[in-house]
Amino acid sequence: EMFYEGKAKKLYSTSDPDLLITYFKDDATAFDGTKRDTIADKGVVNNRMSELFFKLLEKNGVKTHFVRRLNDREMLCKRLHIIPVETVVRNLVAGSMAKRLGREEGEPLPHPIVEYYYKSDALHDPLILGEHAIAFGWATAAELKQIDAMALKVDGILSKFLDERGVILIDFKLEFGRYHGEVLLGDEICPDTCRFWDKATRQKLDKDRFRHDLGGVEEAYHEMLRRVEN
Ligand code: UDP
What confidence tens digit (pLDDT) does each residue in 74-99 have?
999 999 999 999 999 999 999 999 99
Would you say the CB of residue 87 lies under 6 angstroms from ligand 1?
A: no
Q: Which atom of ligand 1 is nearest to the CA of 31?
A: 25
Could you give all domains of the chain from N- to C-terminal order, each with its CATH number? 2-78 (3.30.200.20), 82-216 (3.30.470.20)
Q: Which atom of ligand 1 is nearest to the CA of 171?
A: 15
Q: In which band, very low, low, confident or very high, does the pLDDT at 111 lie, cut at 50, 70 and 90?
A: very high
Atom 21 of ligand 1: nearest residue by CA position: 96
Question: Cα 211 to chain center, whole Å?
Answer: 16
In the chain, the amino acid numbered 112 is P
Residue by residue, DSSP assigns 129-147 as -HHHHHHTTSS-HHHHHHH
Would you say the CB of residue 97 lies under 6 angstroms from ligand 1?
A: yes
| Ligand 1 geometric centre to CA of 14 (Å) | 30
Q: Residue 214: count other Cβ atoms within 10 Å of its Cβ.
A: 12
CA distance 157 to 159: 6
Q: In which band, very low, low, confident or very high, does the pLDDT at 159 lie, cut at 50, 70 and 90?
A: very high
| Ligand 1 geometric centre to CA of 15 (Å) | 34
